[in-house]
Structures are given as structure tokens and as C-alpha cells.
Structure 1
Amino acid sequence: MFLETDFFQQLALTRQYLHQHPELSGEEIQTTAFIKDFLQKENITVLETELKTGVIAEIGTSDGPTIGLRADIDALPITEETQLPYTSVHPGVMHACGHDFHTTSLLGAAIILKKNEARLPGKIRLVFQPAEEIFQGAKQVMDAVDLSSWSAMVGFHNAPELPLGAIGARASKQMASVDRFFVTIQGIGTHAAHPDQGSDPIVTGSQIISNLQAIISRHIPASEQAILSVTHVNAGNTWNVIPDKFQFEGTIRTFDETLRKKIIDQMKKIVTHTAESFGQIATIDWITGPGPVNNDPKLFKQLSLAIPAIAKETVALKSNLGGEDFAFYQEQVPTFFASIGTGKGIPLHHPAFLIDDEALVYSVNYYLKAVETLFDLLLV
């Protein structure tokens, strides 16, 4: 296990710089430039791609197996409340999901892997992925880089609810599928004193939202995990006018593809038929996100045996209805994804979210151990 104190102290400063300069999904221009400059100073080859943001780099001179290591780089539209000396300098933008930590972890692993490049029996592809928070970045990487020859891909997410240095993974159902919906109900606006002269979409929309809550409770087995959450509603702009439009959006999450389709089909019926019963028209815009995060069985078996050597402790993870676009990579390459405890206990996406920089020891060594283990596995 690599434990050089000065190395991790310098790496912590890198993490703090990235934290101070967050950029939103698809806008990671300066972050991309920083990563490229960092890697080039370490004589690491940055590959030319058509990615607008994000970086793909390569370490290794052998023609052996190719292993991908992935970190996401984007931030969230959240106003920071940590009061750290390195708090975000961009108002309303914050690394509240720890992607600054993920990026720094991969940069640290890259330095060590580059120093040992001559001994690598294959190639390492470093994937600094943009736009994870909007579930677009993985697909952008897959469009820009041919993954068909890659033997494995490894990623992780920080877990503030886990103790510092704890590492865990599940064979399947680690994180949920994610679908986003945006519904528009078109009615007829009128004076609030004369609702009979119009067709009130607020009443219709409210009824639809209530009806949707029965999908999970009455159509999905109690033994299954699934949610349908309406998270944003918009209608009207004053107190005495019934508007002509009602809009709402939200998300559907589950671990089973059959249930995923069932929930979506049932939602379409409820939205459409309820609107029709009020004489109105409903449209649904869908944004299909990633499927559930499921680890490749062979990689899971080997890496689960290897991780205790570098973890402070190993934990049995519960399924998490949060989503991860790392799941898209499963479609083209065997993958392994873990959770690494950062020990602060403040939840992801919270304006006071914190990372303990001591966790870099475990995240960097996680990448290094994964490379060592997978090369041993793939070269048997």
C-alpha cells in the first residue's frame, strides 16, 4: 500500500484547488485544461478526442490488456455553505458530490502508475469524464472512444455515510436505474372567478400527481425497491388567473428492468387518461438515464478479495436508489464500481458537504490495487 506522506499532502492541495474552482456539467473547460496540464507535466500521454470537455489519457507501452480507470469531474448548481478557506469562487456552483475528490484520486494514481510504466503488462486508460450529474458524460466518452478492446473498467464514488477508509461493493443492484420525466398539461386559461369558462390544468395536474403515487404502492411488489418522485411543479404567475398550462417533473428509480418498464408504462396511462377525463391534453418528455449499477461477476470476485489489503475496513453495501452513469459502460466493457468512505457524514448534494482529504490514501490505493489485481486476472 502506497503511503508517502508528502505525496498525499500535495495531492490534498490539488483536491482543494479543484474544489475551489468547480464547473457545471458540460462546462468543465478550465477543469479540463487543468487536468491536461497536470498530466502533461507528468509526461502522461493525453489522447486526442472529440470531447468538448473531459480528458482521456494513456499510460503503458505494452500490448497487453487495456484497463480503464474512471473519475467524474463536474460540479452541481449549489451555493456552498462550508465556509472552508478554499470554498468555491463561483457563486451558485459547488463540488457537493465529491467529484473533485474523484478527479484528484485518479490524478494521484496516474502519477504512481506512470513511475511504474515500464513494469505494466498492458495499458491504462485514464477517463476523466464530464457531465455525470446530467447522465450524459459516459455516453459522450463512449461516442469518442472505442471501448470494445478494453478488458475492464473501474470506478468508485465517495460515500460520506461510511467511515473514513471503508470500502464496499455489491455484486448487483448497487445503484438504481434513473429516468427523468417532464409532463405538460395543456388546459384553457380564464379568470379565477369564472373557472367554468376555461379548463383548469392545475386541478388536472394535482390529480395526476396524486394518482401517480399509487403506482409504487399498488402495482410494485413490496419486496422490490422503486420510487417515483415528483420534484418540481410550475403553473401560473398570479393569484386571480387560472393558467392554461401546468408542468411538473421528477424521476423514476428501480433496480429491475422489467419493473422499470412497468412503472413507465403505468405512468403514461395515468397521465394520459387523467388529462383526457378533464378534456385536456398531456405530453410527457422522457430523459432515459443509466440502468442499475451491476458489477461484473468475475471482476467482483477478484477485487472483493483484493480490496481488504488497502481498505481500513470492508463493508457490505445496501442497495442505493441513487444513480450513476458509470452504468452505461457496462454495455461495452466488464466493470467494477465501489464506494469509499470519506467519514464526514454530511450527505451528497448538501451545501455543507465535506471531504476528509485523508481519504485520498484509500482512493488512490484503490485504483492501484485494482490495476494490479486485474492484470493478474487478465494475464492468467
Structure 2
Amino acid sequence: MNTERAAAIVGVAESDLGETPGKNVLQLQAQAAKAALDDAGFTKDDVDALFTAGNWAWATNLMLGEYLGIRPAYTDGTNIGGSSFELHIGHAVAGIKAGLFDVALITYGSTQRSDRSRNRPMPIVPLTEQYERPYGLPAPVGAYALAAMRHMHLYGTTSEQLAEIAVATRKWAMLNEKAFMREPIEIADVLASRWIAEPLHLLDCCLVTDGGGAVVVASRRAAARAKKRPVWILGHGETHTHNTIANMPDLTMTGARESGWRAFEMAGVTHDEIDVAEIYDSFTITVLLTLEALGFCKPGEGGAFVSGQRTAPGGPFPMNTNGGGLSYCHPGMYGIFLLIEAARQLRGECGERQVPDARLALVHGTGGVLSSAATLILGRD
């Protein structure tokens, strides 16, 4: 294992989740940021680096910094979709190692449910998207449906196997009082839910919610004065392979193959050592493709890997333990919530859903239409 301890997650928090008609996107981020800083035992005056991503302003960092009253020495607004925040963690570690700052605040917020903005039509179809969007492909679900259909064609993957993921994730949500959907479901319920884009049913698809989250990353020096034990950032990898689904090199192999390899190599750990996995679940097929690309199983074996509720509470591969984007929350760019749950699992704070003696966590974010990938390996002392 990589014994270098250069930077750690020292604070995490969500804002109000679900439907938040009384709060705007800045208020949700401020609420989460204050709670995450309190969790770390820091204040906003300790923050010297600011990271965020979103589509709510032409220059998100400028507006957020102004609203929070933070004048950072370092700022990063890199946006590669839902995996942006895993990427931000890697960039924060690099900045800390370079001596550019000591404490980074990473935030995200969205009111897509309250303001009904998720499927708001675009007035123009920009640049390379002109070759897909005008021809009826629903975004983003149509792209994921193409990948699912291709996987089924090549490997014989079934809708029942995809449903295993939705059912297991819901079982975790039933243990999380903050989860938006907590009613039990069975495989038959997933298959009976209406088609959204064949072969994906409604319950194969993530939620549409409001919400915000925040993560505080600190140098080893700053982490020593944090209120809670640090969650060390041991490995990181990132990449992106395409923008439009027509240009994805292989519909069944994502960039997680490259980002995962780099993260495992940097951390110096093996797949068998991972105690808990938090994997972006915009759709059930997203999870299955990611498990294969990361190397937890071979291409085409993802269906068998998740069958028999192996990823559910009590199963041998604890995954998406907060209920995931399928059942807990999904405010458009879900990656920051993967980090929040992984940190809490490694700190032993998850109550009924706590994975016993969790020491190593894998976090993987996906962005766009299977376009970007960012992987982290986190650990505790």
C-alpha cells in the first residue's frame, strides 16, 4: 500500500435534499459548505482553494466565491460532468503536494427538481451535438440505453441482471433516513416499471432531486488539527474518451479502465482489498459497465457479478451504501455524494448501513454519456 499521506478528506456534508423549493443553488452550497467545515473543525477563513462545477452560472467559481466570502489563492472550476468532484480531489492533492494551498473546499448544488430544469430544451444545438440531438435521441438516457443494448447483444446480459442493481441499492436506501426513495422493491417491480428508453425501465434510472454537497480536503499539516480522523487520499486516476455517444470508442468499455488502473497503481492496493465501493449509478447499466472496466470482473461478466444481491446489505461486495443515485438522491451531478458516503463509511459513522471495519474504499465517478471517468482509492489509518 502507498504509505504517503499528503492529503486527506477531513470534512463532508450534504445540504437539504429531495425537494428544496425555498433554497437556491447558492444557498444549498453554502449550507453544505458550512456543515462540512464544521465537520472538519474549520471555518471559511481556513479555506485557500475553491473547487466547484455546475451549469448555474457562466463562471461558477466567481459567483460561489463572492457568495461565500472566500477569496481563494487557488481556484478550479473543471467540469467533466458527474465525475468532476472525484477529479477535483485529485487536483486538490496535486495542488497540496505543490505547496499551493493547505485547505480546499469542494462544493456542488442543484435545484433541478424544484425548477424543472432537467429536461429543459436547449435553444440551440451546439457544435458536434448537432449530429445527434436533432434526430430524437433522448439525452442522456438514450445514450445509456444504446450501451445497455450493445452489452446485451454481445454478452447476453439480461434486464433481470440490471434490476439486481436497482433492488440492492434500494435495500441500502431503506437503511438511510435521508434517502428520497425507501420503499422496498423487487426485481419484478423494476421489470414492470415503464420503459424510458428500451432496455432501460423507470427503476433502472436515477432520481431527479435537488441537493448540494461539500467536501473539505486538507494537507497532512492541516489535517492534524481537524476534528475527526482523516480519510487519506491514496490513489487517483482520471480520463475522458468522448463527448457524444456516437464517438464513444466502445459502447461496452468506459474510461474507468484507465482511471481505475492509475488509481490502483498509485494506491498500491488490489481489488480484493477494497472493503466498500461507491460507484456512480446514473443508470443500472452505468454500474455494470464500471465494475467491468475497473476490473472487478471481466467484460461480459458484470451481470453474473451483481446477481444474487451480492452488492446488497450483507452481501460480499458492499456498494452504493447510501442508496445511490437510484434511491438516495441525484441532483444532476452526483459524484460529490459518492465522496461523502465513502468518507463516512471509513470513519464508521453510517449506523445501520455501516460496513464492518471498512478501511479501504473505492470511489468512481462517471460524467456525460459514459464520457468521463475519475477514480479514487481512499483509506484510513
Q: How high is the TM-score relative to the length of structure 1?
A: 0.30
Name which one, 1 or 2, has greater alpha-carbon Rg. 1
Higher strand share: 1
Q: How high is the TM-score relative to the length of structure 2?
A: 0.30
